[in-house]
């Protein structure tokens, strides 16, 4: 078996690490899911590197792969330098500054370890095998606790000068707005993500705009974002109105990306994608009202990811295959 026809993708999130052995045609051959360790006190990334090395070794043993030669891709939620080091990870502070290629070489002998921002990895996967197939200009948008992103322009991933391109979640959409984990104020991910929905929900509940949900939960402060998405799916008009507000915030960021890059397709993944049926048509309609001379563009599409939970790991594996070739 040629080693370069398969790669291992590791998608490191704030709570879990998704790993997959991926074929060159994008098929997930084997997979693993482990909790992300958050222990502090050692050099940056060491505890996470231990878990990653164990996972890579286990997957190689199970699938008869050479651990030294098999390409490994790691997607990380932060600013990844072109040389592979993680410069800054607002939601994974114990790993900020880590050099995972060196750490994995030391622990399990992997010689072909490549790093990328998780949103960029997801964009590459959707472009090759998912909802971005055949689209030359599109954006991957991950709506989770925060917002991740990756931009494909003219069929190329935009990595930028340092490798930090595509951090769409930290575009400022509200001047002097809510404080973000990154240290700035008014970032898009404070408003248009899962935590943004939590904020809109608490505000609406306290203002008396969610009477049925407040009655069901017993107190305005106890109504959660999940209650709103569930109630909206069951047809609640008051819950749908809150999702409409969230869709407006989503549209605000998307319209800015259209103006900057003339993007035609947005592929949405992450926790909020489960409410896609309610959110995306409203977000698309709102977005069009925010674009200059929108009628002169070809139509826009805002569509859910077709690769689901594997998107990040698939992209990391594909990047590893391409950069090891």
Residues at the contact surface with Zn ion, assessed by CB under 5 A: 170, 180, 182, 184, 187
Nearest to 257 by CA among 154, 116, 149: 149
Helix (H, G, I), strand (E, B) or coil at 122: helix
Token pair for 76: 């990380």
Residue closer to Zn ion (CB basis): 131 or 182 = 182
Outline where DSSP puts E strands in 111-191.
113-117, 138-143, 147-153, 156-157
CB of 40 to Zn ion, least distance (A): 22
Rank residues 53 and 187 by Cβ distance to Zn ion and give the closer one.
187
Please say which residue, 69 or 174, places its beta carbon nearer to Zn ion: 174
- Taking the least distance from each CB to Zn ion, the nearer of 197 and 307 is 197
CB of 58 or CB of 173, closer to Zn ion: 173
Q: Give whole-number Cα distances, 324 to 5, 7, 114, in Å.
A: 11, 10, 8
Q: Measured between alpha carbons, how far is 11 from 154 in angstroms, rounded to an integer?
A: 26
With respect to Zn ion, which residue has the nearer C-beta, 22 or 180? 180
Q: Whole-angstrom Cα distance, residue 95 to residue 86? A: 7
With tokens 């404080």, the residue in question is 179
Q: Which residue is it, tokens 């398969």?
A: 6
Read off the tokens for 125: 């996967």
Could you tell me the smallest distance in angstroms from the CB atom of residue 173 to Zn ion? 10
- Report in angstroms how near the CB of residue 171 gets to Zn ion at its nearest: 9
Q: For CA atoms 208, 212, 217, 222, give the dihedral sign.
A: negative
Shortest distance (Å) from residue 279 CB to Zn ion = 21
Neighbours of 304 (CB within 10 A): 18
Of 168 and 239, which has the nearer Cβ to Zn ion?
Answer: 168
Closest distance of CB 275 from Zn ion, Å: 23
**Closest approach of Cβ 163 to Zn ion, in Å?**
18
56-90 burial by CB neighbour count: b if 16+ within 10 A, else e?
bebbbeeeebebeebbbbbbbbbbbeeebbbebbb
Contact 58, 32 (CB under 8 A): yes
For residue 175, the minimal CB distance to Zn ion (Å) is 14
- The answer to whether the beta carbons of residues 123 and 140 sit under 8 Å apart is yes
Q: How far is the CB of 252 from Zn ion (least distance, A)?
A: 15
Whichever of 105 and 171 has its CB closer to Zn ion, that residue is: 171
Q: How far is the CB of 187 from Zn ion (least distance, A)?
A: 3
Cα separation, 19 vs 317, in Å, equals 9
Which residue's entry shows tokens 């309610």?
278
Q: Closer to Zn ion at the Cβ: 182 or 263? A: 182
């Amino acid at each position: 078996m040629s080693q370069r026809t398969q790669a291992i993708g590791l998608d490191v999130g704030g709570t879990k690490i998704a790993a997959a052995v991926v074929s060159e045609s994008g098929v997930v051959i084997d997979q693993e899911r482990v909790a992300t360790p958050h222990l502090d006190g050692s050099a940056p990334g060491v505890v996470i590197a231990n878990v990653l090395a164990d996972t890579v070794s286990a997957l190689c043993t199970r699938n008869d792969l050479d651990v030294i030669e098999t390409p490994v891709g790691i997607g990380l939620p932060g600013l990844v330098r072109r040389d592979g080091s993680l410069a800054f990870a607002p939601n994974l502070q114990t790993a900020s500054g880590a050099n995972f290629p060196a750490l994995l070489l030391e622990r399990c002998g992997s010689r072909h370890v490549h790093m990328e921002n998780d949103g960029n990895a997801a964009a590459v996967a959707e472009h090759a095998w998912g909802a971005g197939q055949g689209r030359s200009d599109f954006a991957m948008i991950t709506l989770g606790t925060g917002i991740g992103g990756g931009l494909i322009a003219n069929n190329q991933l935009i990595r930028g000068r340092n490798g930090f391109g595509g951090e769409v979640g930290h575009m400022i959409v509200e001047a002097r707005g809510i404080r973000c984990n990154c240290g700035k104020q008014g970032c898009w991910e404070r408003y248009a993500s899962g935590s943004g929905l939590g904020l809109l929900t608490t505000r609406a509940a306290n203002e008396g705009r969610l009477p049925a949900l407040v009655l069901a939960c017993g107190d305005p402060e106890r109504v959660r974002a999940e209650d709103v998405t569930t109630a909206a799916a069951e047809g609640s008009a008051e819950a749908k109105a809150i999702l409409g507000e969230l869709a407006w915030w989503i549209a605000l960021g998307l319209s800015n990306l259209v103006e900057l890059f003339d993007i035609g397709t947005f592929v949405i993944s992450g926790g909020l994608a489960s409410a896609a049926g309610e959110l995306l048509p409203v977000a698309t309609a709102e977005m069009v009202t925010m674009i200059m001379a929108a009628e002169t563009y070809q139509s826009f599409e805002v569509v859910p990811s077709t690769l689901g939970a594997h998107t990040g790991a698939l992209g990391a594996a594909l990047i590893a295959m391409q950069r090891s070739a």
